[in-house]
Structures are given as C-alpha cells and as structure tokens.
Amino acid sequence: MPTTAPRLLALLSLLQTRRDWPAALLADRLDVTDRTVRRDVDRLRELGYPITSTRGREGGYRLDAGARLPPLLFDDEQAVALTLALRAAAASGADIEEAAERALRTVRQVLPSRLAHRVDAVPVTVVAGPGAPAVDPAVLTTIGAAVRAREVLRFGYVGPARAGSGTGGTPDADAPTRRVEPHHVVARAGRWYLVAWDLDVGDWRVFRADRVRPRTPGGARFDPRELPGGDVEAFLAARFRGAATMDGAWPCRGTVVLAADARDVAPFVTDGVVEDVGGGRCRVTLGSWSWVALAAAVARFDVAVLQVEPLELAGAFAVLADRFARVAATSDRPGRPG
C-alpha cells in the first residue's frame, strides 16, 4: 500500500480523469479499503478540492469546479502537452498570446527538472498563418456561450479591409444585424469560424469569427438542426471547396500530363495525385472549385502541358489564355522573362 502523500496524489489524479468514480473502483485501483478512500477524500477536501459524494447503487465521488482554484496535478505527459500547447497558442488565431506567455511562465516555474529538460529539448518557433487576423477572446466566449446555451445569436458582420483603401472595412455600427442559430465554433488553419443556420437566409452559413461583432440582447432558445452530413469537418471541407455534396470532393476535377519528372512535381501537389509515365513526364490529377481555377493551378508548375482531360478543362485553358493575352497587350513589358 502506498504511503499517504503518494496515495493522495494518485487519488487526485484518478478523480481528474473522469466525472464519476464508484468508491469500490477507486479502492481497487489504489489497492486500499473503502474506508481509506473515504479518509483520503476528506483530506483532499480540507486542502480545498471540491469533491462531492454521489448517490446510487454504486455510490462514489466526483471532483467538481470550486469557488477557488486549488493546486492542480498533471502527469508527465499532460505537463509536456500543456507547455507545448501554450507555446503554440500564438498560431491559434485567438488574441491570447500575452496571456498564454504568462501561463507558460507559471507552469514552467513549477515543472520538475526532468520535465523541464524534456520541454526545453523541443525548441518551438511559432509562425502565425499569413494574413490570419486575431480574434478577440471575448467574441469567442460569447459565440461559444450561445452555442452551448442553444440561443439565437445576433451580431454585426463587418466587411474586410480593402487593400490600399486606407479603411478598416465596414464599420461596426454600419454592419447589418445577422440572426443565426449557432452550432459550432471551429478553428481551421489559423482562423476561427462560426457554423450556423442563418435565420434570414434560411440556409447554413460559415462566418469568420474575426468579423463577428456580437450584439445584445440575444435571441430565443432553439432546437438544434442536424448539420448536413452530420460532421462539421466534412461540412467545412465541402463548403471551402465549393462542393455541392458533403464528401468534400472538388466540384471540378481534371487530369493533365506535364513535361516534368514526377519527383520534381510531387512536392508541390498537396491535394492531388502524381503518376510517373516515363520519358520525363508525369500525370497529375487535381481538383478545384472551378475549371478556370483548376487551369490556373496547373499553370503554376511552369512546364509544358502535353495532354488535358476533360474537355471542360481544355476550354478553361483557352479562357485563361485569353485573359492573360489581354493583360499582356495592355501592360508595359520591359522584356520577356528569361
């Protein structure tokens, strides 16, 4: 049987891993009697941990949230995960970098030396996503509370800043009020999004959280609708690809043969298939939200295009060529690129 102090730490660690613990199961896990568990629970209560007793056939204990924050206990893996997560907070898109840095210093100060060495052995350089605006944590909290309470959210949706205009986009006061049933708050690629049913449009919409300006009062409670496909990740993938179905497939998909080795092309094909067809050529299959966008994606490889399928993609190359030709004809050209 472990001595009292290690046993208390073990008991506290167990109570933090699940909501309800039957007393008999705790005694079995700690290899002690039910009476010892009761005494240890009383000791933890004296230290400020809000542990309540649960009734029922298998009465037990529950660690609840308290009025003040007692000492927390993390195992080695949790402590390392927490410090690494705090270091990466700057890239989360939420405006919490300063608060995360203070929390990191607090946690780092109390880490035992063996864990401090493990954390310091992983030097982390955090680079936020390009052009990803920070989101006010208060906005995320308000949106999240509406999602949890299933209450209609009213907000102004400000427009983006226009490059070179010297303006910050649509002012908050001028933004029209939107009324939505909020369903999910999603962090994706350094941005935060609200997935909601737009009551005025009568359809699902995805809003950028950095443009949301919550307004009071809110709205009435609602019964949640079923998200198309039932999976928010698949729903977002389909919306960002412009797909009509929830399988996340691109609405336009084509194949080209390029005059380049597959090994030279493969590193730049993030969402496609590259096949070596011999003779310094490769076959690339890609998708996009439109045929012209797909043609532009192929053009970025900067090599000769030998074959194109289907005919819609070939027609898109003609559209793109005409656009580029008109731009070239009306622009000052210092000379052909080498």
DSSP state string for 75-91? -HHHHHHHHHHHHGGGG
Give the residue with greater pLDDT, 241 vs 167: 241
Integer Cα distance of 208 and 137 in angstroms: 14
Structure tokens at 163: 């490059």
Assess whether pLDDT exceeds 80 at residue 130. no
The pLDDT value given to residue 197: 95
Segment 313-321 shows an average pLDDT of: 93
CA distances from 3 to 8, 31, 35, 40, 49 (A): 9, 12, 15, 11, 20
The pLDDT value given to residue 230: 79
Predicted confidence (pLDDT) per residue in 200-243, tens digit: 999 999 999 999 999 988 889 999 999 887 788 888 877 877 66
Integer Cα distance of 211 and 208 in angstroms: 6
Helices 23-30 and 34-46 sit at what angle, rounded to 10 degrees?
Answer: 100
Number of H helices, E strands in the chain: 11, 12
Give the residue with greater pLDDT, 49 vs 161: 49
Assess whether pLDDT exceeds 90 at residue 135. no
Residue 281, beta-bridge partner list? 278
Assess whether pLDDT exceeds 60 at residue 65. yes
Where residue 127 falls among pLDDT bands split at 50, 70, 90?
A: low
The pLDDT value given to residue 131: 62
Segment 136-145 shows an average pLDDT of: 90
Least confident of 74-88, 144-158, 195-209: 74-88
Assess whether pLDDT exceeds 50 at residue 164. no
Integer Cα distance of 116 and 110 in angstroms: 9
